[in-house]
Amino acid sequence: MEKISILGSGTMGHSIALSAAWAGQTVKVYGINEQDLETANNGLANKLGVMVDNDLFDEADAKRIKDSIHFSTSLEETVEGATFIIEVIPEVLELKKEMYAKLEKLVSEDVVIASNTSGFMPSLLSEDMIHPNRFVVTHFWNPGHLIPLVEVVKGSKTDEKTVQRAMQVIADMNKKPILLQKELPGFIGNRLQYALFREAQALLDSGAASKEDIDAAVTYSIGRRLPVTGPLMTADMGGLDVFSAISNYLFEDLATDQRSGKILSELAADGNLGDKSGKGFYDWEPAVSRKLNAERERTLIHFLKNDLQALGEGE
């Protein structure tokens, strides 16, 4: 089994570490300073508490998981002995490239360097590397410990062995890896998510419906089916003659905007950033935020339990 080191202990870093440790692995995690690591430790304790409360595992398991995650502010110490490194530092191209340059001096060329970038192309990220053949994108979704999908994306110089090792590491974490056959911005998941988000913004900007009704049109209809059938399987089940006929008259009317919509642009420019600032499309009073976040977490855990049951039945 690979020896995993995670660089970055923020939102994604410590939750990816939690996934690996939950699957029985020992993980090392790098954070930039003690305060950064304290935040990660608190985040980890909080997530473990919610998972115990929702019967994903018991207190003893939570302790074992916590004990198998080793935090450090030393990059050298974190990557020593690693065979598979996952970079989870901020989405700043130069910062990531600088990190790979440092890593290539610290670890041998058979160590895989993977990035959790949200959208940079692997060929761009690895363009200055000495050994770009060992570079790959592994895109985990937030919250990293509850969402199964990980998109694996190879660059033009990534070798097949690196891809296979990445797919195995993800599978060993009990995640669902998908492999992109070619690199493209936004990979697969974000392209689909943002196609829906663009149309939702256009509907809101045009006054076609309220924000509540636009959201309800998703959560009470396609949202109910999506956990079971993706868009292509949904079309198969609805009848391809029907879906093709509708595509033929509807596509030309769908939003094609190249930038954020008017309402979103204004909200963001005014510092109304959603949950984290207390106001976005909706108002986020602390009590509302707590309730909705807990509800979303419970639902994600419910799905995860189904996945784990299916995994157990498949063994």
Footprint of ligand NAD (CB under 6 A): 8-13, 31-32, 36, 88-91, 95, 116-118, 141-142
- To ligand NAD, the closest distance from the beta carbon of 153 in angstroms equals 12
Q: Which residue lies nearer to ligand NAD by CB, 18 or 203?
A: 18
Q: In the chain, what's the furthest Cα-to-Cα distance? A: 59
Q: State which residue, 142 or 247, has the beta carbon closest to ligand NAD.
A: 142
The distance of closest approach from Cβ of residue 49 to ligand NAD in the complex, given in angstroms and rounded to an integer, is 20
Q: Indicate the residue among 116 and 133 with the shorter CB distance to ligand NAD.
A: 116
CB of 196 to ligand NAD, least distance (A): 17
Q: Are 108 and 78 in contact (CB under 8 A)?
A: no
Residue nearest to ligand NAD (CB): 10
Backbone conformation region of residue 178, classed left if phi is above 0, alpha if psi is from -120 to 50, else beta: beta
Least distance in angstroms from the C-beta of 190 to ligand NAD: 9
In angstroms, give the least distance from the CB of 37 to ligand NAD: 8
**CB of 223 vs ligand NAD, minimal distance in Å:** 20
Radius of gyration over alpha carbons of the chain, in Å? 21
Both tokens of residue 275? 């949950």
Query: For residues 13 and 132, which CB has a smaller minimum distance to ligand NAD in the complex?
Result: 13
Minimum CB distance to ligand NAD smaller for 90 or for 271: 90
Measured CA distances, 313 to 225, 309, 310 (Å): 23, 6, 5
Smaller CB separation from ligand NAD, 75 or 202: 75
User: Pairing relation of β-strands 112-115 and 135-140?
Assistant: parallel
Q: Are strands 135-140 and 149-154 parallel, antiparallel or unpaired?
A: antiparallel
User: Rounded to the nearest 10 degrees, how much is the dihedral formed by the CA atoms of 299, 177, 169, 303?
Assistant: 10
Contact indicator for 111, 266 with CB cutoff of 8 Å: no
Give the whole-angstrom CA distance, residue 257 versus residue 169.
38
Torsion region of 284: left, alpha or beta (phi above 0 gives left; psi -120 to 50 gives alpha): beta
- Cβ-based nearer residue to ligand NAD, 95 or 233: 95
CA nearest to 273, candidates 255, 260, 257: 260
On whether the CB atoms of residues 141 and 189 are closer than 8 A, the answer is: yes
Instruction: Give whichever of 41 and 168 is closer to ligand NAD, judged by the CB atom.
Output: 41
Closest approach, Cβ 228 to ligand NAD, in A, equals: 24
CB contact at 8 A, 34 and 73: yes
How do 176-179 and 84-87 pair as beta strands? unpaired
**CA–CA gap between residue 52 and residue 55 (Å, rounded):** 5
The CB-of-91 to ligand NAD minimum distance in angstroms stands at 4
Q: How far is the CB of 65 from ligand NAD (least distance, A)?
A: 19
Closer CB to ligand NAD, 9 or 203, in the complex: 9
